[in-house]
Every structure is written in structure tokens, then in C-alpha cells.
Amino acid sequence: MGKTATLNIRVNPDVKENAESVLAQLGIPMATAIDMYLKQISLVGGIPFSIVLPKAANSVNADMMSATQIHQKLEKGYADIEKGNVEDAASAFVAFRERH
């Protein structure tokens, strides 16, 4: 069956731009990616991936720490800054994702 239906949606411009960048690297047009997504919904009878909140490791999850543990982590962080043991956020996130 030919493609005759039109889909008009509003999305966050930053999200769209980031997705377009990834899709361009994969060589997949946005319309094709959306078509793939809709086909997967039909095939699996629902959203084709798990929708959950990300889980932080207990070692960095403030909800799982006592006030003393939080204070100790903050003090260690301050000491690292004073020693120059710092890393830019982009590198830190890449390293975090590789570990988890």
C-alpha cells in the first residue's frame, strides 16, 4: 500500500534536531524512522520499548543515602575540585553511560 496518510505533529525543537542528527548519521530520513516506529507499534501491539524512569545507582542516589553520606560525598567533591580533579560534563556523562 502506498504512503498517502499525512501526520502533523509538534515536538520540542531540540529533541527534533538531536534526533535528526542521529538519523542522518544512520542514513535514515525522519519520515522513514517514524514509519518504522509506527510499524513496530502495530507488530508488537504496543510501544516497542520499555518506558521506565532511569535508575540511579545507590552510590549516587540521594534518596538512598543518609544525611551523613550525602555530606561525605559533598566534602569529597569539594576536595576533588580544590585538587583540580575535575572533568567536563560531556566526558563524565560518556564515561557514566559506558559503565551502566
Of the pLDDT bands very low, low, confident and very high (cuts 50, 70, 90), residue 1 is low
pLDDT given for residue 97 in this prediction: 83
DSSP for 9-47, written as a single string: ----HHHHHHHHHHHHHHT--HHHHHHHHHHHHHHHTS-
The CATH number for 32's domain is: 1.10.1220
**Positive/negative CA dihedral, 91, 93, 96, 100:** negative
Q: Domain count of the chain?
A: 2
92 and 76 within one domain? yes
**Average pLDDT for the chain:** 90
16 and 40 within one domain? yes
Q: How far apart are CA 70 and CA 10, in angstroms?
A: 41
37 and 62 within one domain? no
70 and 85 within one domain? yes
**Residue numbers of the domain that contains 27:** 1-51
| pTM greater than 0.85 | no
Query: How does pLDDT run across 27-81, given as a tens digit for each residue?
Result: 999 999 999 999 999 999 999 999 887 777 777 788 888 899 999 999 999 999 9
- Show the cell assigned to 82: 580544590
